Structure 1
């Protein structure tokens, strides 16, 4: 076999000798093992060929696991899209303001399994009198001290909210709420969604579907207020 001299001055025999002294080198650099050309007719190379094959199998298993995870996420998102669509249709079918408010709350409790829901609306609405989950705020929701820092955000607020915020949203039920989402209803007010599960809503949660729910609720209420 022809002698191979590397640009650094090292010869092939030097490289081979170094590899013999460092048998775990390919374990630390598996990408190099994947690119080597293995003479399979030589029995001494069979273990390295098997190592390369095992690397490929491991990578395939990782890809299959990742694919299964993506399929599961896609399935969950598809289910949520259907839920939000059905929820929006139920709001559009509401014939008046009171029915619309009931549909907003009922849909979140039944379809999205939330324990506490509240509507804080700007102004006064006689048609909603007696609905325990609705609170009229004649002076405007933005003027409530507990929610003053929420409105400049422009984004849903999720997580373990401060006691003052929970009190403003859920009243006497506030101590039961372990995590919550606070959503704007355009210029109409806010929607509060509370859960007994401390991990149900958290700062890192995706807010796309929450925004869609809030927009649907705001648009439905906007037909009557």
Structure 2
């Protein structure tokens, strides 16, 4: 008679052994001699090493990986501190401007100086009539205003001939752009934009689609708050 079904014997698999060892933590305590006799292949060559040596190598690799992560965290922390200090200096210099008429030019030059941006332009519209004839309040089409209002976060990408790129000096030399809408309140709000800040670079990789925009969003909200002095009361 042949046995079938649940009575049929199945070979033990590697998974069965692994599960048994995982659920039997005292196995090697009962068979300590196995630990000394187990030989593994070293990842640094074909030579055989003991289990203890292989574990030591694995620990060294983990420690090395952790050291790299810590170094990266320190580097990013230092970079963030430098950026925070530059934002603080930029904001402080904006607060020190007494003439509202001089504010846009100061905002632009300080951005270039503090953050080493090769090209910066700023346009503001719907301003108080006292500033309507200023260069920063002219030369903006209705399409550009609508485009600015449609942005709920900075646009970063290649210079594809967008109107706002023409506000920059030597726009033909600019290969990547950041277009930053300025609106009352939070950048992602629903209020209409009353201006747009344009950052340009000859480096095609400086402003890339998909890059993080937290820094640019902070710049946008600070700039919008400062430039609110130009709007009708």
Q: Give structure 1 stretches of 5+ with no counterpart.
A: 1-6, 20-25, 27-31
Contact 2:181 2:220 in 1 (8 A): yes
Residue matched to 1:207: 213
| 1:79 partnered with 2:82 | yes
| 1:182 partnered with 2:179 | yes
Count of matched residue pairs: 193
State the TM-score, normalizing by the size of structure 2: 0.70
Per-residue deviation at 1:99?
Answer: 2.3
Task: Name segments (4+ residues, structure 1) moved above 3 Å.
Answer: 7-10, 35-43, 123-131, 146-150, 165-169
* Structure 1 residues 85 and 47, CA gap change in structure 2 (3 angstroms): same
Helix, strand or coil: the match of 1:111?
helix
| 1:143 partnered with 2:146 | no
Residue matched to 2:189: none
| 1:97 partnered with 2:100 | yes
State the TM-score, normalizing by the size of structure 1: 0.72
Name the CA distance, whole Å, in 2 between partners of 1:121 and 1:213.
15
CA RMSD of aligned residues (A): 3.2
* Structure 1 residues 174 and 196, CA gap change in structure 2 (3 angstroms): same
| 1:60 partnered with 2:63 | yes
Contact 1:40 1:49 in 2 (8 A): no
Name the CA distance, whole Å, in 1 between partners of 2:78 and 2:131.
40
Q: Give structure 2 stretches of 5+ with no counterpart.
A: 1-8, 39-48, 184-192
* Structure 1 residues 81 and 42, CA gap change in structure 2 (3 angstroms): closer
* Structure 1 residues 107 and 220, CA gap change in structure 2 (3 angstroms): same
Name the CA distance, whole Å, in 2 between partners of 1:98 and 1:196.
30
* Structure 1 residues 188 and 53, CA gap change in structure 2 (3 angstroms): same
